[in-house]
Chains A and B, each alone.
Chain A
Amino acid sequence: MRRGPVKRALSTAGHRAIILGFTAFAVFPFYWMVITAFKRNSDLYVGATNTAHNPFIFNEPPTLVHLYTLFQNTLYLTWLFNTLWVGTAVVLITLLLAVPAAYSLARLTGRWGERLSIGIFLTYLVPSTLLFIPFSRLVALLGLQNRLAALILQDAAQGGGGVGHGRRLQPPQRHSARGSPPGHAGTAHHRDLRPHPHHPGVRL
């Protein structure tokens, strides 16, 4: 049965509307942040009750004054460097600890292997606030207050839950012997679809 041209046009329009709507929803906060960063204060702080003032566009010429303030009057570059330094250190430490742990977990078969991986995986699900509390004591004991090392320690501990993924490192021949179950054929197979709960950008 062939669909008529009207029905087909409606279906295409509906599909485009869905795509446009979701894309706008996803992108709008970023657009808003970008346009806000380059707007003059006199263009920015106009109450929303003034309907004559369109907040979606530049009503006055764009300015770099906010960026100038950021680079000249704050320690932005230091903070940027701190972010890079902590990020790199955490990734290195996590990889160094997680890869051997994940491999050994993958080789550990039977009930104990499963229980152990579930136990380690728990850290992955614990809210960071729960870890902040004991860690504040530990950081104080180690004398790391107000130091970047405290952040590295905290983030590495949270990231360590990734070793729970160790079961995915099972030898490939075991999977090929098992075959694919219904509802699953390769696309998600062995691909890490799980992000870190507190650093969502790093795992997708």
Chain B
Amino acid sequence: MFRRALWNTFVFTFVSQVLVMVLGNILARALLKKFRGKLLVRFLILMPWAAPISLATLGWLWIFDSTFSVINWVLKVVGWLGPGQWYYWLGDPTLGMVAIITVHVWRLLPFSTVILLAGLTSIPSEVHEAADIDGAGPLAKAFQITIPMMLPILTVAILFGTVFTFTDMNVVYLLTRGGPYNSTHVLASLAYQEGVLGGDVGRGASIAIFLLPLLVVMAVLMLRISRRAEVV
């Protein structure tokens, strides 16, 4: 169970961070442009970050419900699910992991978008104009200007997102309670189950402490990079 939880912790963190970075970049670039209702859109997009995750996860619990899932209803209507076919989102290990990753991405996307947006707006327009005069294409501008200039702030976004996903137990615990068959536990939720609910304090502490060396490395790395990026 511990090894599975360890594996899940890495899978959830890695997959959700990759998705958050890709989607966050797309969204931040879209938000850079001028359009009507920009302020309202920014407010709405920030809502998942502002809402308490435990309450928001309850909403997702109903969305992923095995009997009443609105996703299944849509898939049935569009013909994706044929007769006798059904997705048990929280009753299948793989689908359970998909559900957890979806909620993590939903929650962290506004945070990464705000950071990436700050990074994008901090690049002076003169640099892009100079590149245009020099005949640089979109790819050259992306790899030689945007990414290098955003690297410090991009690293901060990745590190913070990684730590938030790594240390979170709310999403897993509220959505699947580590199930089915303890297949979606992460280290934080397993530590809570064993140490607090199970009453085996020593075992819970040993699971939770297993995270510490990794967190120490991350914390040091994060603060060093943050300092270099002048965010701290």
Contacts and interface: CB of A to CB of B under 8 A. Distances in A.
Contacts of A104: none
Contact of B44 (A27, A114, A165): A27
A118 B222 CA distance: 10
Interface stretch (B90-98, B136-144, B160-168, B174-182): B160-168
B68 A45 contact: yes
A22 B196 CA distance: 38
B153 A48 contact: no
A13 to B, nearest CB: 12
Interface of A is mostly: helix
Nearest to B202: A133
Interface centre among A22, A25, A114, A165 (most CB of B within 10 A): A22
Interface string B7-29: 00000000000000001001100
B85 to A, nearest CB: 10
B49 A133 contact: no
Interface residues of A, number: 66
A85 B45 CA distance: 29
A128 B228 CA distance: 28
Interface in B103-123: 106-107, 109-111, 114-115, 118-119, 121-123
Interface stretch (A61-69, A90-98, A145-153, A176-184): A176-184
Contacts of A168: 232
Contacts of B209: 130
A132 B68 contact: no
A164 B222 CA distance: 12
A200 B167 contact: no
A126 interface: yes
Contact of A204 (B30, B50, B86, B212): B50
B153 A26 contact: no
A133 B227 CA distance: 32
A1 to B, nearest CB: 11
Contacts of A187: 118-119, 121-122
Given A55-B73, A181-B152, A127 B230 contact: no
Contacts, number: 214
Contacts of B188: 127-130
A183 B124 CA distance: 9
A141 B24 CA distance: 46
A189 interface: yes
B119 to A, nearest CB: 7
Contact of A32 (B31, B62, B201, B216): B62
B58 to A, nearest CB: 7
Contacts of B204: 129, 133
B184 to A, nearest CB: 16
Interface in B188-232: 188-189, 191-192, 195-196, 201, 204-205, 208-209, 211-212, 215-216, 218-220, 223, 227-232
10 contacts: A29-B60, A122-B216, A130-B211, A132-B195, A133-B196, A165-B232, A167-B232, A183-B123, A197-B168, A198-B170
Interface of A: 15-16, 18-19, 22-23, 25-30, 32-33, 36, 44-49, 51, 55-56, 114, 117-118, 121-122, 124-130, 132-134, 136-137, 164-165, 167-168, 175, 180-189, 191, 193-195, 197-201, 204
Given A130-B188, A167-B227, A188-B119, 20 more contacts: A15-B35, A19-B35, A22-B27, A26-B44, A26-B46, A30-B47, A32-B70, A45-B68, A47-B68, A48-B72, A48-B76, A51-B76, A125-B167, A126-B215, A128-B169, A183-B153, A184-B122, A185-B124, A187-B119, A188-B153
